[in-house]
Structure 1
Amino acid sequence: MTDTFSFLPHGGLTGAEIRALDWSDTALGPPERWPPALRAALSLMLGCPTAMFLAWGPDLLCFYNDAYRPMLGYRLDTALGQPFRTVWASIWDEIGPLVDATLAGESQTLTDVMLDLSREGRPERSWWSFTYSPVLDDAGAITGLLCVTAETTGRVLGEARLRESEDHFRHSVELNPQVPWTCDPHGNVESYSNRWLELTGQAPGEPLGSGWAKALHADDVPWTMTVFANCLASGEPVDVDYRIRIAATGEYRWMRARAQPRRDEAGAIIRWYGVVEDVHDRKLAEARLRDMNETLERRAEDALAQRKLWADVFETTDALVAALDLDYRFLAVNRAYAEEFERIYGVTPRVGESLLDLLARDPAQREAARTVWSRALAGEEFAVVEEFGDPARKRPSYELKFTILRDASGHRIGAFQYAQDVTERLRNQDQLARAEEALRHAQKMEAVGQLTGGVAHDFNNLLTIIRSSVEFLQRPNLAEERRSRYLRAVSDTVDRAARLTSQLLAFARRQPLKPEVFDVGARLHDVADMLNAVTGARIRVVVEVPENPCYVLADPSQFETALVNLAVNARDAMTGDGVLTLRLTCGAALPPIRGHAGAPGPFAALAVADAGTGIAPALLGRIFEPFFTTKDVGHGTGLGLSQVIGFAKQSGGDVDVASELGRGSIFTLLLPEVEPPSRSADTRQARIGTPVAERGLCVLVVEDNLDVGRFCTQLLEDLGHATVWAHNAEAALAEMERVPFRFDAVFSDVVMPGMGGVELARRLRADHPELPVILTTGYSDALARNDAHGFELVRKPYSAEQVASALSAVRARRPIP
């Protein structure tokens, strides 16, 4: 009898299972019809001791060798001959792109990839290295793939444990206030902690060998090196004191270096282990102790020297010098201090007199002097600037420096004041502050000029189109086709002008928003198809959204506009070819951005990542400026990112940017997360959207602009409604009082002289709670800060369709018979 599986190697569990399986019902059919290429691949794979699997044919049916069987785990009983995607459905999101690339003819090699194989039916963390290679059929076409794989979990976890151990040791060393170090038998330093670099300011690597000696005081180097050399030669422990210069303060501090040798079995020194510790305070304490043991004769000599110093120095300086004991009595006062004290207070201070008694006639001055001197007498050393007398005096401002006064034994006996005239210095500081303010004003005016120029340029372009179109529309013999074309041009240009003002208001955070609670992930999926149309066919949009919903309170329209602006910038950065990744992370913290403090969150973080040209570091600080763009003329207004950051800030969030030249950019839009909407809100929204029978309404129009008022009333009448026009809020309230129940709705502007539209709407809601109020504005600071205060909002410039929609919305909330 002919062996249909003669091409299989003898032996092996997988070979036996292949022989035993009925292949008639599979896409491959009976083994006698299997192509030679498949037979050859199976023969090669089953005879190899390295773990491999083969996916063959359109369905990528699975074959594997014995070495691969442990990786299948609980899938082993059902994996043979099944589609590869079915077998590894749990990790298809990770390996699917690799399979697609391999079938496209690109071999794939990956090292230490973390995959959750769940071999025992429960989640597990494991790491793998593998190579995917295309497999050809008999005609030379790609018909499957061959994978050679090996598990590297043990090595990856071992290396991680090693890194953790090394990190633990490093932190133990670095947190030590002492400085551990080692050197070879010849005295060349081989290792040290970063604490030495922090203390000395030396660069990494500089202390190696004998470079550490460069940080020592020049007077201490010969002695230190002599002791060190003697210890290296004798093997005796190192114990030497020297001074190093502290980088942070520039002062020299005493250090003690100690070291012990480590020897091999033969007694030879193989390494020295040592520490350096700060002993400066101990040295000072020893010096103070020696001072306390001085004889009375020496203290007398010191007192004579101090009196000589007072006479030689303090009596020849323009500074005001005085000293008080702990009871506010003068211990010393120089001539300059006494003269200025008399000019200010009218009395002359003398040694032994009380400062507080001299100022007894002026309680306010007495209390001020007590307040400042009491700090010094309590042991605080400080400086303070104060003004004395009339500012027109020659020297009205002094800097007073206070230090502690001690006796020869070190006991605090009073305080010492040294006052210098700083009037001229303060005047110079005032002049500098005024100059800086003038510079800031000039920079602000320059920025306003740039903004104004950009707005004028764009609006003049739009007005040119409108004006030219209107002139042609006024011609009596204009063909209907051309009339329609010019009308469309006017309509499109008005839309572009509205978008331009919307972007400007968004940048200034003055855009009236209509915030709603929505799931960012769901909205992201809804917008993905539109982004494909925006970015073009050669850019692949990848959306990564977590399973759990992530809700924010924001204007959905502005959110989508911001997303489109970021996608368009990414498209241009990639010159229309590449992968655009939209990645949503929930529960994120707001990092510190552009000098602003961060926040713990939670925030929804939407990252828009491209693989484009990147942004130069010098330009990162300007990319959000209005009308700033790096694109060629005609390829961008420079307002896209202004809209994005304006929307983010106005919604309580921010935008973070990370970019690297030649590698791409990541713009992360962060918005505060909120609780999901309640069922009652969903029900109300559904009720709002329910169509109702419509009839003509009586609408009270409140508009102070005559042209807009005439247009609005005409528009409403063309929609089939009756109108009454009030030119301001006060007139509107008078109309309501005249016939309270004749109006079905109010359509009011927000920005008006006197009472504004928001206040009018509040009054009407209080007096007529069932009366619908629709607000309209092209800009309002109040609405920008607090949306529409619960009222329906129509943004200017509005269309007839938008007004009709708003009336339908309020009609749905309050059906009108």
Structure 2
Amino acid sequence: MDSIELEDLQRRLKALEEENARLKAAGAAVLTERRKVESALADSEERYRTLFNSIDEGFCIIEFFDGPHGPLSDYVHVEANPAYTQHAGIANVVGQKVREMVPDEAGGWVELYGGVLRTGVPIRFERELVATGRHLELAAFRVEPASRKQVAVLFQDITPRKRAERELQQLNETLEARVVAALAERKLMADLVEGTDAFVQVVDPDFRWLAVNGAAAREFHRIYGILPKVGDNMLELLEDQPEHRDAIRTAWSRALAGEAFVEIAGFGEPGRARRFYEMRFNCLRDGDGRLLGAYQFSYDVTERLKEQERLREAEEALRQSQKMEAVGQLTGGIAHDFNNLLTGIIGSLELLQTRIGQGRVKEIDRYVSAAQGAAKRAAALTHRLLAFSRRQTLDPRPTDLNRLVMGMEELVRRTVGPEIAVEVVTAGGLWPTLIDASQLENALLNLCINARDAMPGGGRLTIETANRWLDEHGAGERDLDPGQYVSLCVTDTGTGMAPEVVERAFEPFFTTKPIGQGTGLGLSMVYGFVRQSGGQVRIYAEVGQGTTMCLYLPRHYGKETDRPAALATKTAMHPQADHTILVVDDEPSIRMLLTDALEEIGFNVIEAHDGPTGLNILQSDQVIDLLVTDVGLPGGMNGRQLADAARTTRPALKVLFITGYAENAIIGNGQLAPDMQVLTKPFVVEALASRILDMIKDGTGRN
């Protein structure tokens, strides 16, 4: 190899070395640049991922593919940030196909996003995701290159805003109508207030008018001569009319103090312009409950009050007429019966006097018996009348009705006869009642006799007791106060009673029985006795279906006690004549009979014709063992007052009241002080003697 070739080879080798060195340098630079690019790409990816996961809006990338519905007819979610679930309401969306997620609305979403993919034109729109009920605001753009078939979607939930928009739209749509309606309603109310006959006023706490309708202003002017207007002070307007000003101040002050009330009062000059008003006051408050003033609705009730007064007078006249009619009916019945009885008494006494003058003594007993019988029947008639008028003397005691009814069962069976089946139904745990047992026995027997007479062909009579708790409604139907009662009912299967008969059943001397078979006082007596005892009687009847008579008696909350045994007759007992009895009665014939009867027994008797005379004797040193006094005495001091005055100085004085009727206000409705008793007129001498001997026998201490 020559030198030229060698040099050429060396040059070429050096050139290769230089090229290699250059290439190494260039490779190192490329590697460095690659590393820089990779680092930058990693940083960019980190920033993207942080932004992707951190943004509040929902974000996803969808990728289209060919599906059963044609080319690019479906897409799958390839990426989705955490906010996707929050805004769309669907979780774990990556990997889900839209036609599987929301099959009913997938076509619409494919059409929207498919357009973006095809054209590359971004879109912004609002749409409801029906599957979750969310309203979404969305933005979509194509991910380049188009060959990737991807679209990015950014969205947020605007459901609350859409709801507010709808509500606002609805409000706007109805606002005008509501304003028109409110104005119409306000005008209507104003027209009503202004056009009403009522007087409407509203005042503030300083008595200044906040509102006053025309009727109230005109009425104020008519009465006081001043026409008020809003802003005026009513008290200042009436400064020169102090009497009227004070009356108005008194009424309004109550309402301004927060009181709601109704008052009827008169305003204006008496005899001229004075009218009466029904005023309804109430307080006026704001939404926080603060008192703003008071308002008043008033009505002129002058004519109404006059009409009520005329009606009251008419009713009073009607009651008086009915009372006189009842008195006339009662008087006629009494006159008829008493004239018959007096005829028997007077005729017997005349014949008795004639036979004594003729010496025909053997016939005396017949006339004495006839006179006594007529007198006893007259006493029974008086007793029935007093029972009807609720003025008989009662001896109420706690009573067990079951025991009373069962004790009378045999007597009732004998009275009604074998043709009538008697059934007694007593209630268990029956409450006691405070009643005069003997009077109740008479009433029960009377009801049973009436039931018997209503079943001339026989039937069934049922006596039933029961506890009754009457509420306000039940008590009102029976004309009683609500509470606890004991009932005693007598039911028959007889002819029944028509409504008009039931209505008059308790009238004295009213009877449907033939003449001579009833006095018409039986039910009157029962009614009066029960009412006097605090109870009520009710008739339940239907023609041809029988009758039920029910007595409702108040429950007694004390204990039931046995009735005291009847007083034994003591006609054989004659005390020594060292007992003195003071007899006070304004009727000379009664004083004579009492004195003769008591002296016949063996007592010393002192007489007085009135209360003051008797009190003078009792306040003297005279020894008195027993006071016998009529209750109804003349001279301003009745028998009870006499006894009370005497017992202030003679506290142990025994007193026997004799009375023709029960003066409950004096005797205390049967509640007498110790050592006081009552004997009802008329009475036989034997009963008087028995009672006095019974009172004397317990002690002979002087008074």
TM-score calculated relative to the size of structure 1 = 0.54
Which is higher, the Rg of structure 1 or of structure 2? Answer: 2
Indicate conservation of the 8 Å contact 2:575/2:601, yes or no.
no
**CA deviation digits over 1:610-654, x for unaligned, max 9?**
111112123323212222222222221111111112222222322
**CA deviation digits over 1:478-511, x for unaligned, max 9?**
8566532322221111111111111111111110
Letter in 2 for 1:726: A
Q: Aligned equivalents of 1:309 and 1:560: distance in 2?
A: 71
Q: Aligned equivalents of 1:634 and 1:524: distance in 2?
A: 29
Residues 1:751 and 2:632 are matched in the alignment: yes
Indicate conservation of the 8 Å contact 2:430/2:466, yes or no.
no
Residues 1:573 and 2:454 are matched in the alignment: yes
Change (3 A) 1:500 1:365: same
Paired residues for 1:553-702 under 5 Å:
553-575=434-456, 577-585=458-466, 591-592=474-475, 596-601=479-484, 603-671=485-553, 672-676=555-559, 694-696=574-576, 697-702=579-584
Indicate conservation of the 8 Å contact 1:688/1:813, yes or no.
no
CA shift at 1:761, angstroms? Answer: 2.6
Paired residues for 1:3-42 under 5 Å:
none
Aligned-pair Cα RMSD in Å = 4.6
Q: Give 2:333's match in structure 1, choosing from 414, 432, 454.
A: 454
Unpaired runs of 5+ in structure 2? 1-170
Letter in 1 for 2:310: Q
**Aligned twin of 1:811:** 696
Residues 1:792 and 2:677 are matched in the alignment: yes
CA shift at 1:795, angstroms? Answer: 1.3
Comparing 704-713 with 585-594, greater Cα deviation is found at 585-594
Comparing 317-326 with 730-739, greater Cα deviation is found at 317-326
Q: Give 2:228's match in structure 1, choosing from 349, 355, 359.
A: 349
Indicate conservation of the 8 Å contact 2:569/2:690, yes or no.
no
Change (3 A) 1:359 1:784: same
Letter in 1 for 2:528: G
**Aligned twin of 2:266:** 387
Q: Specify which structure has the higher proportion of helix.
A: 2
Change (3 A) 1:445 1:371: same
Letter in 2 for 1:728: D
Indicate conservation of the 8 Å contact 1:687/1:813, yes or no.
no
Letter in 2 for 1:448: V
Residues 1:466 and 2:349 are matched in the alignment: no
Change (3 A) 1:621 1:366: same
Q: Aligned equivalents of 2:359 and 2:648: distance in 1?
A: 54
**Helix, strand or coil at the partner of 1:605:** strand
**Helix, strand or coil at the partner of 1:553:** strand
Letter in 1 for 2:626: A
Indicate conservation of the 8 Å contact 2:430/2:486, yes or no.
no
**Helix, strand or coil at the partner of 1:647:** helix
Indicate conservation of the 8 Å contact 1:776/1:796, yes or no.
yes
What count of residue pairs does the alignment treat as equivalent? Answer: 517
Change (3 A) 1:675 1:614: same
Indicate conservation of the 8 Å contact 1:512/1:788, yes or no.
no
**Aligned twin of 2:48:** none
**CA deviation digits over 1:63-100, x for unaligned, max 9?**
xxxxxxxxxxxxxxxxxxxxxxxxxxxxxxxxxxxxxx
Paired residues for 1:38-437 under 5 Å:
293-294=175-176, 329-330=208-209, 338=217, 340-342=219-221, 344-359=223-238, 365-366=244-245, 369=248, 386-394=265-273, 396-397=275-276, 423-437=302-316
Change (3 A) 1:689 1:768: farther
Indicate conservation of the 8 Å contact 1:587/1:673, yes or no.
no
**Helix, strand or coil at the partner of 2:540:** strand
Indicate conservation of the 8 Å contact 1:510/1:784, yes or no.
no
**Aligned twin of 1:524:** 405
Q: Aligned equivalents of 2:284 and 2:478: distance in 1?
A: 44
Comparing 299-308 with 566-575, greater Cα deviation is found at 299-308
Q: Aligned equivalents of 1:589 and 1:332: distance in 2?
A: 51
CA shift at 1:558, angstroms? Answer: 1.4
Q: Aligned equivalents of 2:479 and 2:629: distance in 1?
A: 39
**CA deviation digits over 1:579-614, x for unaligned, max 9?**
32222335765952655234432x442222211111
Q: Aligned equivalents of 2:302 and 2:244: distance in 1?
A: 21
**CA deviation digits over 1:233-268, x for unaligned, max 9?**
xxxxxxxxxxxxxxxxxxxxxxxxxxxxxxxxxxxx
CA shift at 1:293, angstroms? Answer: 3.1
**Helix, strand or coil at the partner of 2:489:** strand
Q: Aligned equivalents of 2:245 and 2:565: distance in 1?
A: 76
TM-score calculated relative to the size of structure 2 = 0.62
Q: Aligned equivalents of 1:322 and 1:518: distance in 2?
A: 63
Indicate conservation of the 8 Å contact 1:513/1:784, yes or no.
no
**Aligned twin of 1:131:** none
Q: Give 1:779's match in structure 2, choosing from 634, 658, 661.
A: 661
**Aligned twin of 1:122:** none
Q: Aligned equivalents of 1:431 and 1:538: distance in 2?
A: 57
**Helix, strand or coil at the partner of 1:475:** helix
Indicate conservation of the 8 Å contact 1:472/1:478, yes or no.
no
**Aligned twin of 1:724:** 606
Change (3 A) 1:549 1:802: farther
CA shift at 1:415, angstroms? Answer: 8.5
**CA deviation digits over 1:85-120, x for unaligned, max 9?**
xxxxxxxxxxxxxxxxxxxxxxxxxxxxxxxxxxxx
Higher relative contact order (CA 8 A, sep 6+): 2
Comparing 727-736 with 545-554, greater Cα deviation is found at 545-554
Q: Aligned equivalents of 1:577 and 1:766: distance in 2?
A: 62
Indicate conservation of the 8 Å contact 2:567/2:690, yes or no.
no
Indicate conservation of the 8 Å contact 1:395/1:421, yes or no.
no
Q: Aligned equivalents of 2:515 and 2:353: distance in 1?
A: 33
Change (3 A) 1:388 1:494: same
**Aligned twin of 2:687:** 802
Change (3 A) 1:640 1:413: same
